[in-house]
Amino acid sequence: MRISTPNFHNLIKNPLVIIIPLLAISLLLLFLPLKLSNQIKATCVTPIRPLQWATCFCSNSASNFFDKIISPWRDAQAKKQLEEQISQLTNKIIEQQDTIYKLQNKLSMLSKFQIEDKNVKTSVIPADIIGYDTSNFRKSITINAGSKQGVKVNHIVVSNNTLIGRIITVGSGSSMVQLITDPASRIPGRILQTREQVIVEGNATAFCQLKYIPRWAKLKEGDDIVSSDIGGLYPPSLPIGTVMQNEIKGGALFRSVKVLPMVNISKIESVLVLTN
């Protein structure tokens, strides 16, 4: 009679054939003395230690490799964020400095006017320039003060105690100022040094000119021109400009006189409107 040998494939098809021995081995290891159990563990672990070491080495190497690749990108992103933050802070500082400068300029201009004209009962309205006339033939500015603030037509406008123009149009919250450089502007004035009466006229440039100055007038470059109260529109003694060029052309009856305004209007930001 032939005894048949169990087929391995048939054995593994039955789960109990594998589970029961594993449970038996586990129970055996559980109740073994600690010293013997540790020896068995060490004996089982020893063959796979090289594999563990190789796995750890590969893992660490891969981690270091990816860190080297990603680190520059991460540093670049962090640098970019820092640069953006610095740029934003710089812009805020510049904005605050600009605001402080405007306020200081207004306070200085108002204080200076009150000190120099403390004996004159004149009230003023501070205003900011909010627009410039882009025309090549007219010279005017727009300010952010109007009828609500008490501004009226023909009120005089000054900056740094220097005459720059007069109000010609008034809105509820803004007004237009005709500058002394406008061709339609004609201001009665006097030569400070000689006291001669003159007319200051604009010529649509950054300069003005004097009209009807006779050939024999004692006038020289560097003479100062101030406003005159003749006509009752302008207050007296407001600085206007300085004689920059003084010529006699051919047989002309009058001198050709070029005047440089005391204030560079393109650089000012605030003005004062004289209400009286």
User: Which of residues 42 and 50 earns the better pLDDT score?
Assistant: 50
**Res. 147: pLDDT tops 70:** yes
pLDDT at 72 over 50: yes
Q: What is the mean pLDDT of residues 70-95?
A: 77
**pLDDT tens for each residue of 183-207:** 999 999 988 888 888 999 998 888 9
> Binning pLDDT at 50, 70 and 90, where does residue 1 land?
very low
* DSSP annotation of 267: G
Q: Looking at 115-119, 149-153, 231-235, which range is the least confident one?
A: 115-119
User: Residue 82: pLDDT above 90?
Assistant: no
Largest Cα span, the chain: 158
Calculate the CA 38 to chain-centre distance.
Answer: 74
What is the rounded CA–CA span in Å between residue 231 and residue 19?
121
What would the pLDDT profile of 100-141 be if each residue is shown by its tens digit? 766 766 676 666 665 455 545 578 899 999 998 867 777 899
Task: Provide the whole-model pTM.
Answer: 0.61
Distance CA 181, CA 103 (A): 27
pLDDT surpassing 60 at residue 25: yes
Total Cβ atoms within 10 A of residue 270: 20
Residues above pLDDT 90, as percent of the chain: 31
Domains and CATH numbers, the chain: 124-274 (2.40.10.340)
- Strand-pairing partners, residue 211, are 199
156: burial class by Cβ within 10 Å (0-12, 13-18, 19+)? Answer: buried
